[in-house]
Structure 1
Amino acid sequence: MDIFAFVVLSSSSLLLFFFEFSDAADSIYKSQSLRDIEDTSLVSKDGSFALGFFSPGNSNYRYLGIWYNNIPVKTVVWVANRGNPITDLSGVLMVNSSGSLVLLGQNSAVAWSANSTKGARFPIVQLLDSGNLVLREDYEENYLWQSSDYPSDTWLPGMKLGWDLRTGLERRLTAWKSPDDPSPGELSWGFDLHHYPELVTKKGSKKIFRSGPWNGNFFSGMPDLQAKFVSNKDEVYVMFEMIEKSAITRAILNQSQFELYRWVEEKKEWSMFLNFPKDECDTYNLCGPNGNCIMGESPLCQYKIEFVKFIGLKLPDSTDSWVEESTDFEECSDKCLNNCTCSAYINSDIRNGKKSGCTMWYGDQIVIRQMAANNRKDVNKVKYKQKMKVIVIIVVAIAIVFGVLLIPYCICKSNRAPQRGLINKKRAGNGRNKDMELPLFSFSSVSTATNYFSASNKLGEGGFGPVYKGSLLNGHIVAVKRLSRKSGQGWEELKNEAMLIAKLQHKNLVKLLGCCIERDEKILIYEYLPNKSLDYFLFDPIRHGIIDWATRTHIIEGIAQGLLYLHQYSRLQIIHRDLKASNILLDKDMNPKISDFGMARIFCGNGSQATNQIVGTYGYMSPEYAMEGIVSIKSDVFSFGGLLLEILSGKKNIGFYQCDSINLIGYAWDLWKSNRSLELMDPILGDTPPANVLLSYINIALLCVQENAADRPTISDVISMFNKEPTLLPSPKKLAFSFGKGTEDLGSSMRKAEICSLNDMTVSILEAR
């Protein structure tokens, strides 16, 4: 009896697989299909939605879509093959042999497929009453794939819009190109991810409308939207809630705006009850930085440079904001007033009439608008005016506010006239801002730009700390140097580098774009140079062949020009004190740019000065500096000479041992004395450089590394020597550190210098010129 029952059940199952499902089915199984030519469709159990093939508007193309089944106006809410229409009735939806959902078109070519992470052994494709098409295993509730994760232009009640942070999945609406073409258009609607997420409508990459951030009850710029917002480490999403359970409601992003509709059965039509943007004040950045747009006022845009308390305000663009849930309002206020870059603050959560959390904004405030006191519609007979009254934002407009590369910053100077006594008294105690005149980036913008300092964005690491590749909001690529807490470096080092480079402008010096000194972070933001540093090419057995003789001479001359500017033509005479191959960066055209000014020193005159702080990298420091702490422009000339020998030979000065020479300088000197200097040349260069030119460069390098600083040429002299014949150049005298391996002349000061250079960085005291 049991065996008989088993046979009957198995046969029934086989019949189910071999015959197409009935027209009113809500599911298909493996080996079943939905065929356009047969005009079949799936219908959800309650009859609300249907899945099948259709042609939009006046188009003859065929698409697989979901639409409302129980209203007379065909309203499509989801399209599978948006960008890949089928030109005839050959469309077939099926689960293939590997358990994946696929749509086949002409000649059985795949027109679309569900990108599920794994196939199903016993798959079921089901259209739910919510309008969601799902793929799952039989007898299991977990979905392997669902259409609501890949929305088209329509947002249905109960459908998540936002991010799954665990998988990186983004659910974003994209408008149809036209009523006849469901392929993705220019307009999109979804979350911008940062510390205070908000919904944003974009046209391409340009923002045209933003919802304002969530305040615990609603989005500050969309108070009428009934929604549930969730933000945690796993997900950031908003769920559109139905006004009435029995109402048929949908939200749609069309070619111009975001709209919410309700089906009116009496009129047999859709009625729009909300739309965004609502009016002119919803236009993104209409009033520019720190302007408040007020409908009905003349002019629309109002500006105030003072403390202002707003009630019922659409909060500013939250791209450059910071949120801390555990901070109360008083602490929030103190943190903002003690931070030069903070320009606004508010409680981040006002649920149930309570005020908690802290949100702070940095730099210019973009897209502020005054919301009307009675602009909330009484959809669910809730008096939202009472909720609006508890929103308070304090905007602190700094006297001098600028924007660089779309990243806002303020200028804090000790001699600036006070704007408000309380703020300036508090900020005066913050020594970091004294004499600081530099673009300040918010930590949130830097973190977002570097993909939260991900390992995949890391370019390298030096004594200062790791360097990351970053992308700003306007698409500009930058290099972000983040101070490592283990490096032993601090604010003085960062300020030294930032202040110096901010005052320097030369094509052969790296360009500093700004810094971040927020949350105990010390970060410098530079222009991004795609070819990394000189040592990346010069000392690599494969890559060093890329830099031929013409490129090397171009690099040499560029470094010399950069040094000439530092020593002679800049507003401040600068001694770099750490010139080496790793501190020469290369742009896309292999133009050299001197970088890393953390230990540079502002100098006065061409004489020498003593310092008790020996910094730099062993092998590049001049003897008088390494042993006695005597520093001058000739210190950089010595480093340039050692670097020049490295470029010519392709060998490192540090760690170089040949015959009885302690380093590359000693080896070059030995070859010079025995008239064998051409042996120094990098073999990869072959016969390219003329012998007389190569000898000139070697001669110049040896002149630069002479033991006595007075014997060394200035960098200006060096540049003039490049075009002279070797016979016209003076002969080098005794060189520094050219002794044998057994030398004992280096002394204790040299050993200290080697120790202090482990991080390749410290700093000297700044002196006015």
Structure 2
Amino acid sequence: MTKLLFCILIVLHASITRAFAAHTLSTNQTLRHNETIISPQETFELGFFSPGNSLNIYVGIWYKKISLRTVVWVANRNTPLTDTSVELTLTLQGVLIIRNTTTGSIIWYSTNSSLTSVMNPVGQLLDTGNFIVSEEGDMINPIWQSFDFLTDTLLPGVKLGWNLVTGKERHLTSWKSNDDPAFGEFSYSIDKNGYPQSIIKEGQNITFRGGPWNGLTYTGSPNLKPNRYYNYTFVLNQREIYYQYNLVDPSVFTRLVIQPSGRLERLLWIDSKKEWSVYFSRLTDRCDEYDVCGSFGSCNINKPPICECLKGFEPTSPDHWRITDWSQGCRHTTPLDCNPAEGFNKYSNLKLPDTRESWYNQTMTLTECKKMCKTNCSCTAYTHSNISGPGSGCLLWFGNLTDIRMFTQNGDTIYIRLSASELDSKSSWSRVRVIIPMAFAFLVIIVSICIFYRFNKMKQQQHGRAGNESRNDPENTSVGEDIELPQFGLAKATNNFSINGKLGEGGFGPVYKGVLENGQEIAVKRLGVTSAQGLPEFKNEVILISKLQHRNLVKLLGCCIDGVEKMLIYEFMSNKGLDSFIFDKTREELLDWPTRYHILNGIARGLLYLHQDSRLRIIHRDLKVSNILLDKDMNPKISDFGMAKTFGGSQIEGKTNKVVGTYGYMAPEYAGDGIFSIKSDVYSFGVLVLEIVSGEKNRGFINREHYNNLIGHAWILHNEDKSLQLVAKCLGKTINISQVLRSIHVGLLCVQRHPEDRPTMTSVIMMLASEGPLPLPKEPGFYVGNMKQKAIQSSSSNGTSSNNELSISMLQGR
């Protein structure tokens, strides 16, 4: 009897051992501390382990055939176990659970989105290293799989990237240390913003950028070539974006690992040495560090100093550049002004710039790509998106070009936008063709200045005392030292500033229409006697706008100072201000949706030029509908730079005790604390977008249901999927629904409460032009309107009030 019992026990023990020597885990089994599951070909093993010198216990997967335990996946990486009273089980819902058997507490569990019973769920460890949970017999459609929750290791056959249908992403995250598999500081992923590219991040900061895939390799890794160990591919379509490698020789063990130090390493197992050998590593030299040389700078590790400006560019701060501080980067030697003569220079053997603010099309030719970039003043560069074969596709950049490095060979080619004077000429005649028009234009300017000067001198001699007062005016002398614009009398041109020629009035003062002797129509802004603005604002506008040239900025023709009289002369905008259309119930129908969308994009391009493409970084600080003028073709022009501020170098933010601007358009951080930046202008642009779409003023709009202003109303409609209710009724059937919804979405992204959440104008232009997914907007700032009792007193429940919208210039920031 004793012998029989002993034999039964041996058989039971053997059956338990075989159960876990197999590759499955069913709902009636429990995996304990000293038990493991082994894949069919004994390639991988799953069980409980303790890493390095740690006493903590985790569930993980490691190589079975390698003598040195090498863990490739960890389940409970952030919730370690501290004793061996543990078990891994599978529920009837197909959920894996790690439980402390002493306390009964659940330490970790897998996910099952359906959380419904499935038919006979089973866990299986595959020879790929993937542990899947599926219905018995259906391994193709797993309920859950470890490959969807990568740790620090990418194994052969695994897709690193995005499933655009489900929104699921796979990326690597480093261990905290060699003894602690908890989430570390570094991650390796595919960034799908703009044209997809591989990046390494430390927290939220990029430390290394492998660059976009060019059809053969990552542009930051030109030496990554086919080899006898593995092949690789990159897939980009409407359903998926991912990188993947597969073994050529199945007997080879290789893995891609993001180390706790942040280094990305390709490792090969050398069985004769019983160790992992580094096959290649990213972040090998200083030029591999992200954005070492700043905008439009290139890094060359073989040419000290390693940073230099690209041809056609110069250091933004020569003093900093000389002491090897390259953070402020480079700028165009000759600033761009959206001139048709601008063109592109070819740069070869380099790592393509950061593509997070880029646009791409996989079917366009290079010629079509160039044409598209040429016609968009915000486009700074273009190239093929795929260089394999004869080359195909189009990749466009908008804004600054960053993180460029030079290679001795095998690098990529890019075509960068430059002014006509900086373009490479193919012949002496092409140089002559550029020089002759420039010389002629210079001669015309000199002659014009002489004529104006002569005319002014004669006028001052005729006026006698008035001229002497003007010449002796110390304020006049101050302005004259700062500007280089012609000054001329305007009484005759404006018929002595006749009331019949008055176009309107703003914070600066009244604006009159005038006609010069040559028949040219002009607009004259005359500083009002009671104006809150004075000489500082006058000087600021003249000095700033005289240096700006862009099709979406109003053009300053000259200025006139005569004693206390101060006037600015602009090109005449026959359609006046945008507000005279969208807020006028009798004229609003004249602006259909295509025209409004054209205006919206033009404002965005003008603002991008101020923030990024002009020689100075300029913050407008008073962007509003009435400061958008329209020419005869309904092209928008940003005007009124009296309150603008300039930033130099890498400065991106300022603070003032004198808050200026207009209620309804001011960003929260600016109105409350006097902090202004390009993001405060972005906020104002967001308000503009919502006003252009709705035909309503943000300040003065009150909704009867929730008593919010226009921003709050748009926010609520967006969250309820009712954004089309925001659209002005006069637009009728002219709207393009996708454009309208996208514009509202972008507007809400621009008015988010926190400035760091708002996009740059480069991103805004890209989002408006593309058709891809947009980030979800967060709660906007200043979206709560008047209180209920105030709303009841309003004469309109969904209309605008007649509030004065003159610019504010004396509000003290807290």
Class of the TM-score when normalised by the shorter of the 2 chains: 0.5 to 0.7
Q: Is 1:302 matched with 2:300? A: no
Native 8 Å contact 1:290 1:397 kept in 2 = no
Please state if 1:30 is matched with 2:27: yes
Deviation at 1:93, TM superposition (A): 1.2
Query: Pick from 234, 246, 249: which aligns with 1:244?
Result: 249
When residues 586 and 191 of structure 1 are mapped into structure 2, their CA distance, relative to the original with a 3 A threshold, is closer
Matches within 5 A, 1:380-419: 388=410, 391-397=412-418
Q: Cα 1:223–1:110, aligned 2, differ >3 Å: closer, same or farther?
A: farther
How many angstroms does 1:49 deviate by?
0.7
Give the C-alpha shift of residue 181 in structure 1. Answer: 1.0
1:504-523 alignment, distance < 5 Å: 506-509=660-663, 510-511=665-666
Distance in 2 (CA, whole Å) between partners of 1:420 and 1:336 is 27
Task: State the match for 2:128 in structure 1.
Answer: 130
CA contact (8 A) 2:707 2:788 kept: no
Name 2:104's counterpart in structure 1: 108
Is residue 291 of structure 2 the alignment partner of residue 254 of structure 1? Answer: no
Give the conservation status (yes or no) of the 8 Å contact 1:346–1:392.
Answer: yes
Residue 702 of structure 2 contacts residue 786 of structure 2 at CA under 8 Å; is this kept in 1?
no
CA distance in 1 between counterparts of 2:201 and 2:244 reads 20
State the one-letter code of the partner of 2:164: L
**Given that residues 700 and 800 in structure 2 are in contact (C-alpha distance below 8 angstroms), is that contact kept between their aligned partners in structure 1?**
no
Taking the aligned partners of 1:91 and 1:482, their CA distance within structure 2 comes to 64
- Deviation (angstroms), 1:104: 1.6
Q: For residues 52 and 491 of structure 1, do their structure 2 counterparts lie closer, same or farther at Cα, with a shift above 3 Å needed?
A: farther
Report if the CA contact (8 A) 1:539-1:651 is conserved. no
**1:175-223 C-alpha deviation (Å, 9 max, x unpaired):** 0111111110110110111231001100000000011101111111123
Amino acid at match of 1:239: Q
User: Which amino acid letter does the alignment assign opposite residue 495 of structure 1?
Assistant: P
Determine helix, strand or coil for the equivalent of 1:22.
helix
Q: Report whether the alignment pairs 1:366 with 2:402.
A: yes
The offset of 1:421, in angstroms, is 8.9
1:221 is aligned with what amino acid?
G
Find the partner of 2:371 among 330, 334, 357: 334
Counterpart amino acid of residue 159 in structure 2: K
SS in 1 for 2:252: coil
Structure 1's unaligned 5+ residue stretches are: 1-14, 374-387, 402-417, 438-460, 473-480, 484-488, 516-522, 548-584, 590-642, 657-662, 666-700, 706-713, 720-769
Native 8 Å contact 1:186 1:203 kept in 2: yes
1:271 is displaced (CA, Å) by 0.2
Equivalents in 2 of 1:69, 1:156: separation in Å?
15
Q: Distance in 2 between matches of 1:342 and 1:24?
A: 61
1:602 is aligned to none
Residue 504 of structure 1, CA deviation:
5.7
1:205 corresponds to 2:204: yes
Whole-Å Cα distance in 2 between the matches of residues 334 and 243 of structure 1?
A: 42
Residue 145 of structure 2 corresponds to which residue in structure 1?
146
Matches of 1:482 and 1:169, distance apart in 2: 40
Matched, 1:229 2:234: yes
| Correspondent of 1:495 among 630, 633, 636 | 636
After superposition, the C-alpha distances for 1:126-147 in whole angstroms (9 at most, x for unaligned) are 1110101111111112211110
Alpha-carbon separation, structure 1, partners of 2:155 and 2:242: 14
Quote the residue 1:619 is aligned against.
none
Distance 1:162 1:354 in 2: 27
Which sits farther off after the overlay, 91-100 or 260-269? 91-100
Sequence identity percentage? 33
How far did 1:508 drift?
Answer: 3.9
| Residues 243 and 310 of structure 1: CA distance in aligned 2, closer, same or farther (over 3 Å) | farther
Paired residue for 1:179? 178
Distance between the aligned counterparts of 1:664 and 1:339, measured in 2? 35
Q: One-letter code of the match for 1:61?
A: N
Report the count of equivalent residues.
475
Find the aligned partners of 2:53 and 2:689 in 1 and give their Cα distance.
50
The residue identity in structure 2 corresponding to 1:31 is: N
1:644 CA drift (Å): 12
- Seen in structure 2, the aligned counterparts of structure 1 residues 217 and 646 have a Cα distance that, compared at 3 Å, is same
Give the 3 Å change call, closer, same or farther, for CA 334–525 of structure 1 in structure 2: same
What is the CA distance between 1:242 and its match in structure 2? 2.8
C-alpha spacing 1:260/1:715, structure 2 compared with 1 (3 Å): closer
Contact 2:381 2:415 in 1 (8 A): yes
SS across alignment from 1:332: helix
- Show the counterpart of 1:86: 81
Q: What corresponds to 2:390 in structure 1?
A: 354
C-alpha separation between the residues in 1 aligned to 2:105 and 2:217? 46
Q: 1:249 to 1:508 in 2, by over 3 A?
A: same
The match for 2:336 is: none
Question: Could you say if the C-alpha distance between residues 647 and 525 of structure 1 is closer, same or farther in structure 2, counting changes exceeding 3 Å?
Answer: same
Q: TM-score, normalised by structure 2?
A: 0.51
Match of 1:278 in 2: 284
CA distance in 2, matches of 1:181, 1:491: 68
Report the secondary structure of 2:287's partner residue.
Answer: helix
Shift of 1:97: 3.0
Structure 2 distance, partners of 1:83, 1:302, is: 44
TM-score (normalised: structure 1): 0.54
Counterpart amino acid of residue 145 in structure 2: Q
Equivalent position of 1:762 in the other structure: none
Selected match of 1:269 from 268, 275, 295: 275
8 A Cα contact 1:124 1:138, kept in partner: yes
1:223-278 superposed Cα distances (whole Å, 9 cap, x missing partner): 34452111111111110233533210001001221111000011110000111112
Question: Could you report, residue by residue, the CA deviation over 1:670-728 in whole angstroms, capped at 9, with x for unpaired residues?
Answer: xxxxxxxxxxxxxxxxxxxxxxxxxxxxxxx9xx99xxxxxxxx989xx9xxxxxxxxx
Give CA-to-partner distance per residue, 1:400-443, whole Å, 9 cap, x none: 99xxxxxxxxxxxxxxxx99999xx9xxxx98446489xxxxxx
RMSD of equivalent CA atoms: 4.9
Counting only pairs closer than 5 Å after superposition, residues 627-706 of structure 1 correspond to structure 2 as 650-654=792-796
Query: How do 1:687-766 residues align onto structure 2 when only pairs under 5 Å count?
Result: none
Q: Is the 8 A contact 1:155 1:252 kept in 2?
A: yes
Please say if residues 21 and 32 of structure 1, whose CA atoms lie closer than 8 Å, have aligned partners that are also in contact. no
* Equivalent of 2:60 in 61, 65, 85: 65
Contact 1:212 1:219 in 2 (8 A): yes
Does 2:92 align with 1:97? Answer: yes
Which residue of the partner structure matches residue 314 of structure 1?
Answer: 351
Note closer, same or farther for the CA distance 1:302–1:20 as it changes in structure 2 (3 Å cut).
same
The residue aligned with 2:157 is 158
- Call closer, same or farther: CA 1:341–1:92 in 2, change over 3 Å: same
Question: What is the letter of the counterpart of residue 636 of structure 2?
Answer: K
Note the C-alpha offset of 1:319: 0.7
Q: Give the CA deviation at 1:312.
A: 2.8
Task: Tell me which amino acid in the other structure corresponds to 2:30.
Answer: S
For 2:282, the aligned partner's letter is F
Could you tell me which runs of 5 or more consecutive residues in structure 2 were left unpaired when the two chains were aligned: 1-11, 225-230, 313-343, 423-433, 442-548, 557-592, 609-622, 646-659, 668-676, 691-696, 713-749, 755-784
Determine if the alignment matches structure 1 residue 121 to structure 2 residue 262: no
CA contact (8 A) 1:511 1:527 kept: no
1:99 and 1:419 map into 2 onto residues whose CA distance is 76
The equivalent residue for 1:617 is none
1 CA distance for matches of 2:408 and 2:197?
20
> Counterpart in 2 of 1:627?
none
Partner of 2:565: none
Distance in 1 (CA, whole Å) between partners of 2:48 and 2:555 is 65
Q: CA deviation at 1:46?
A: 1.1
| 2:72 aligned residue | 77
Structure 1 CA distance for aligned equivalents of residues 129 and 63 of structure 2: 8
